[in-house]
Chains A and B, each alone.
Chain A
Amino acid sequence: MTQLATEPRTQTVPMGLEVEADTLANMYLTFDIGAEEYGVSISDVIEIVGMQRIMPIPDLPHYLKGVINLRGKVIPLMDIRLRFNMAERAYDERTVIIVMEVDDAPIGLIVDGVREVREIGDDRIDRHAQLGKSSSRQVIAGLARMEESVVVILNPSVLVSEDDLRLIQDKSEG
C-alpha cells in the first residue's frame, strides 16, 4: 500500500456544531468487497435491494452483468469485484445491489454486503492519496481514516464511465 499523508489532525470539529445543512454531504454508505471497506456518498444512492434475477445484455464489458427490472425501471448492474479485477464470488444472501443515480443514469452496484451509513468529515478524508498513476481521473476519490479501519471512497462517475481503465490501456499501448 502507498503511504498515506499522515499529518496530525489538529483541527477537529467542535462538538455541537450546526451540521444540518450539509449532513448528506458527509454521509457515506459503506460496503464490503472482500476484506476491504468501500464507501459512496449517500446523496448518489437511491436504494438498496436484494439480489434479483439478472437478465444478460450483450455488448457490455464482463463486469456489467446485465439488467434488472426494478418496478418498471431497467437498471444495469456492475459487479464491483469484476470491475476491480478481483476474483468472482458466488452471490449469497448477503450480496446486495446498491442502486445509484450517476450522471443522470441509474446503475446498480453488486457488492458483497452493505455495512452502514457513516458520517465522515472532510478532514478525515485524504483526497490526495497518490495511488500509482498521477494525473489520471481516479476511481478512488479519497481514503478515509477511521479509528479502526480505512474506508476507500469511490468516485461513482469514474467507476461507471471506466475513464481510469482507458488510461491504463493508453499507457500500456503507448
Chain B
Amino acid sequence: MNQARADVAAETGLMRVPSERISRLMDLVAELSLSVAETVRSPDLDGLELSHFETAVHRLMMIVHEVQDAATDMRLVAIDDVFKRLRRMVRELERQTGKKIDIQTIGAETQIDKLVADRLYDPLLHVLRNAADHGLEPPDERLAAGKSDTGLIRLTAAQVGSEVRITVEDDGRGLNRKRILAKARERGFFAEDEEPEPAVLWKVIFKDGFSTAETVSNLSGRGVGMDVLNTTMTALRRRILVDSQEGNGTRVALHIPVSLAFLDCIILRLAGQLFAVPIDVVSEILKPDARQLAGISAQNGAEVYLWRNGSIPVCRLTEFFEGMDTKNRTHQSGQQVIIVFQTANGPLAIPVDEILDRQQVVMKPLTGRLAQVRASYGCALLGNGDVALVLDCERLVQREGSA
C-alpha cells in the first residue's frame, strides 16, 4: 500500500521517506519515553515490593532507549553532502579571488542529524569565504612569505561524545590583532587601554556588522556573514571557537550536538529551581568543605574553589541569573554540592543544592519571551513532567567581556 510515497530502490535497499513522517515518529517516540517514565515513576508505586515489575520495567526502559536511538539514527546523514557542496564552492571562490586554493576534507563520513546538516551549509560557507577572501594571501604574497603558492583550506569533521566538531582551517595570514582590536575599540566592545585575550578578541568577528576588510568585495567583508553564522549556530545549540596565529592561518571550530532531540543530562536543583546539564560537560561532582571555597574581595568578591593543587572559578547561578529566589533554599549553603564543568575556557565550579538524577531529556527550544534567558540551550522535559532549564556552561563563563 501507498507505494507511491515510499519508493524503494531495490538494488541499494534505500527508501525515500518524507522528512515530516520521520519528525512525527520522533515526536511520538519523545512522548512515548516521557509517558513510560511517568508510568514507572508513578508515586502510586511508592513503597511497593514489585520484583517482577522491576524486571519488566528495566527491560521496558532498555527498549525505549533503543527505540530512541533507532529513531535518532534514522535522521542521521553523512556530513559528506555538505562538504561536497563546499568543495564546489571553493572552485568558484578561486575564480573570484584569483587565488589558488587546495581543499582537503577529513571525516566526511561523520554522521549528523539531517536537520542540523541542512542548516550547516550557510554558516560553513561564510567561514570558508572568510578564509578564502581574508585569510589566504595572493600567490605572490605567499611565495614571498616562504609558503607554497597554493593556499590550503582543511575541513575536518569528527564525533566527540555526543558532539560533532567541525573545523575550518586555513594556512593564510591569520587574523590581524591590531586591526581587529582597533575596530573593536571603535565599536566600543573594548576600552582603549584594554588588551583582551586572543580567544576573547577573536569572538568579536562574530558580532553583527563587524568587518575589517578595507574593500568590500562581493565575497565577504560586508560584516553580515558572521552574524548569520552566529544566529544559526545559536539555534543549533553550538559553540564556536576561533584560534589564529599571525602568519600561520586561522582555525574556526564549530561544536554541534549530533542530535537535537534528546540529551543525556544531569538534573540539579538550586534555590527551588531545576536545571539540567549535558552529561558530557560534567567532569566532577564534589562535596566541598568550607575551607575549599574562598572569596577574593580584590576581584569584586569573586569566589574560587580550591581543589587539588589549583583553583577553579566559581559561578553562583543565583547571582548569574536575575530573579532567582535565594530565600527559597532547601539546603544550607554548607551542604551544597559542587559540580565541575569542562568548558572551552577551562573548568568552572557551580554550587547546587542537590543533584537529583541522570536522565535522557526531551529538548524544547526557548521561544518567544523565553528566548531572553541567558546561558541556556532550551528547556528539558523530565520524565515526571517537570521542566528544567538546560545550561550552556560556555556562556556561563563568558559573562564578562563578551556580553
Which residue numbers of A lie inside 8 Å of B, CB to CB? 55-62, 64, 67-69, 72-74, 76, 78, 102-107, 160
Measured CA separation A62–B369 after assembly (Å): 13
Instruction: Please indicate the chain B residues that have their CB under 8 angstroms from the CB of A107 in the complex.
Output: 368-369
Query: Once the chains bind, are B274 and A59 in contact (CB under 8 Å)?
Result: no
Q: How far is the CB of A64 from chain B (nearest CB, A)?
A: 6
Among B146-154, B172-180, B291-299, B381-389, the one that faces the other chain is B381-389
Whether the Cβ atoms of A59 and B369 lie closer than 8 Å is no
* Partner among A59, A74, A102, A104 whose Cβ is within 8 Å of the Cβ of B322: A59
What's the Cα separation between A57 and B371 when bound, in Å? 12
A102 to nearest B CB, angstroms?
7
Give Cα A62 to B370, complex, Å: 13
B307 within 8 A of A: no
Contact A67 B368 (CB under 8 A): no
B273 within 8 A of A: yes
- Helix, strand, loop or mixed for chain B's interface? mixed
In Å, the complex CA distance between A137 and B145 comes to: 59
Contacts A58-B273, A59-B372 given; does A69 touch B321 at CB 8 Å: no
Q: Are A67 and B387 in contact (CB under 8 A)?
A: yes
With A and B bound together, what is the CA distance between A50 and B88 in angstroms? 56
Contact A59 B321 (CB under 8 A): yes
Shortest CB distance B86–A (Å)? 31
**A74/B369 contact (C-beta < 8 A), A58-B317, A60-B323 known:** no
**Which residues from chain A contact B385 at a C-beta distance below 8 Å?**
69
When distances are taken between beta carbons in the complex, the residues of chain A under 8 Å from B367 are: 104-106
Name the B residues within 8 Å of A78 (CB-CB): 369
Residues of chain A lying within 8 A (CB to CB) of residue B321 = 58-59
A106-B364 Cα distance, complex, nearest whole Å: 13
In the complex, what residues of A have CB within 8 A of residue B368's CB? 76, 102-107, 160
A105–B365 Cα distance when bound, in Å, is: 11
CB-defined contacts of A62 to chain B, threshold 8 Å: 323
